[in-house]
Amino acid sequence: MSIAPVELLRFDTDAELVQRFIERLCKQLSQAIAERGEAYLVVSGGRTPIKLFSELSQQPLDWARVTITLADERWVAADDAASNECLVRMHLLQHRAAAAKFVSLLDSTVGAAASARSAESKLAQLPTFDVVILGLGEDGHTASLFPCSAELETGLTTKTAALVVTPTTAPHQRISMSLRRLLDSRQIYFHLSGAAKADVLARALKDTNHLAMPVRAVLQQTQVPVSVLLAG
């Protein structure tokens, strides 16, 4: 099955993007529930998804049949403001979406390496994801696959589902899904906002060096359809 090149959808405003994105997400998650009885959604942290999370949390989906997890997590306590889990609990697992199941990547009772192993076994129990939503850092990182990290090549090639990443240009040790686990999905979205992200995307699409800009490994694969939603 040949995968279409990256679909790029541009919007004038974040509000227009979120509205269209919500329509798509609800359709794909409902379809997954109708076809397989359950839906699996992967989300990312950062600032960009907050409005999307709030809107999505109010949608009339059969949330009890939806499982949500994270593409990556910062090695901080789950109630820390820098925690992606905290962000998801505060903005997405609210209202109707409070009924969804959440799979944490974090086990703060053990060290980062042991936590990555427990994340590994949790992710191994989840099937192919229906939708993966990724962000993009200005250095070309996505999830926590950072160009500055010594673990990047492992993250792009490993057969394991999760790994510990220690970026040198961003705060906090991280647990990130590997490229292989991110690509074990039916649809990948990049949710981007602003001119700076548009520039990063343009640079990413110009070259094929995945180690320089890890997002290229997701944009330039032929396994999963990728759609980029870009506002502004």
Please spell the DSSP secondary structure of 98-124, one letter per residue: GGSEEE-S--TTS-HHHHHHHHHHHHH
# residues contacting ligand 6PG (CB under 6 A):
16
Q: Which is nearer to ligand 6PG, 33 or 219 (CB)?
A: 219
Burial of 83 (C-beta count, 10 Å sphere; 0-12/13-18/19+): buried
Nearest distance, CB of residue 211 and ligand 6PG, angstroms: 17
Q: Is 142 in the site for ligand 6PG (CB under 6 A)?
A: yes
Question: Which residue lies nearer to ligand 6PG by CB, 33 or 104?
Answer: 104
Q: For residues 117 and 174, which CB has a smaller minimum distance to ligand 6PG in the complex?
A: 174
Say which amino acid occupies 193: S
CB 145, CB 217: distance < 8 Å: yes
Dihedral angle sign, alpha carbons of residues 56, 61, 62, 68: negative
The binding track of 62-101 with respect to ligand 6PG, each residue x by CB under 6 A or -, is ---------xx-x---------x-----------------
Task: Map residue 189 onto helix, strand or coil.
Answer: strand
Alpha carbon distance 1, 50 (integer Å):
34
Handedness of CA 80, 85, 91, 95 (dihedral sign): negative
Minimal distance, residue 47 CB to ligand 6PG, in Å: 4
Q: Which range touches ligand 6PG (CB under 6 A), out of 105-113, 138-146, 151-159, 211-219?
A: 138-146
Q: Which residues bind ligand 6PG (CB under 6 A)?
A: 44-48, 71-72, 74, 84, 135-137, 141-144
